[in-house]
Amino acid sequence: MRITLKYFGQIAEVTEKQEEQIDIEAQVIAELLELLYSKYEGLKSKDFQVAQNQELVINTAEITGAEIALLPPFSGG
Amino acid sequence: MRITLKYFGQIAEVTEKQEEQIDIEAQVIAELLELLYSKYEGLKSKDFQVAQNQELVINTAEITGAEIALLPPFSGG
Amino acid sequence: MQNKKPKNVFQQGAISSEFIGNSIYKHQTKTSIGAHNIFLGQVRADEIDGKTVAAIEYTAYEAMANQKFHEIRESAFEKFDLTCMHIYHSLGAVNVGEICLFVFVSSPRRNVVFEALEFIVEAIKADVPVFGKEIFEDESHQWKVNS
Amino acid sequence: MQNKKPKNVFQQGAISSEFIGNSIYKHQTKTSIGAHNIFLGQVRADEIDGKTVAAIEYTAYEAMANQKFHEIRESAFEKFDLTCMHIYHSLGAVNVGEICLFVFVSSPRRNVVFEALEFIVEAIKADVPVFGKEIFEDESHQWKVNS
At D1 the pLDDT is 46
Contact D61 A71 (CB under 8 A): yes
Touching D: which chains, 3+ CB pairs < 8 A?
Answer: A, C
Q: How many CB atoms lie within 10 A of CB A20?
A: 12
The rounded distance, in Å, linking the Cα atoms of C84 and C113 is 10
Which structural domains are found in chain A, ordered by start?
A: 2-71 (3.10.20.30)
Q: How many CB atoms lie within 10 A of CB C12?
A: 9
Do C57 and C92 meet the contact criterion of CB atoms below 8 Å apart?
A: yes
The rounded distance, in Å, linking the Cα atoms of D64 and A53 is 8
Contact C60 B71 (CB under 8 A): no
Do A68 and A51 meet the contact criterion of CB atoms below 8 Å apart?
A: yes
Residue D89 DSSP SS3: strand
Q: What is the pTM of this model?
A: 0.95
Residue D63: half-sphere exposure toward Cβ, Cα within 13 Å: 9
Residue type, position D43, single letter: V
Which structural domains are found in chain D, ordered by start?
A: 10-143 (3.90.1170.40)
By the CB < 8 Å criterion, does B73 face chain C?
Answer: yes
The rounded distance, in Å, linking the Cα atoms of C15 and D60 is 36
ipTM score of complex: 0.94
The residue ranges of DSSP E strands in B1-77, in sequence order, are 2-7, 19-23, 49-52, 55-57, 67-71
Chain A residue closest to D98 (CA)? Answer: A77
pLDDT tens for B14-26 read 999 999 999 999 8
Taken in order C128, C130, C134, C140, the sign of the CA dihedral is: positive
From first to last of the 147 residues of chain D, give the pLDDT tens digit. Answer: 444 678 899 999 999 999 999 999 999 999 999 999 999 999 999 999 999 999 999 999 999 999 999 999 999 999 999 999 999 999 999 999 999 999 999 999 999 999 999 999 999 999 999 999 999 999 999 999 887
D14: which chain A residues are within 8 Å (Cβ-Cβ)?
Answer: none
Q: How many CB atoms lie within 10 A of CB D50?
A: 6
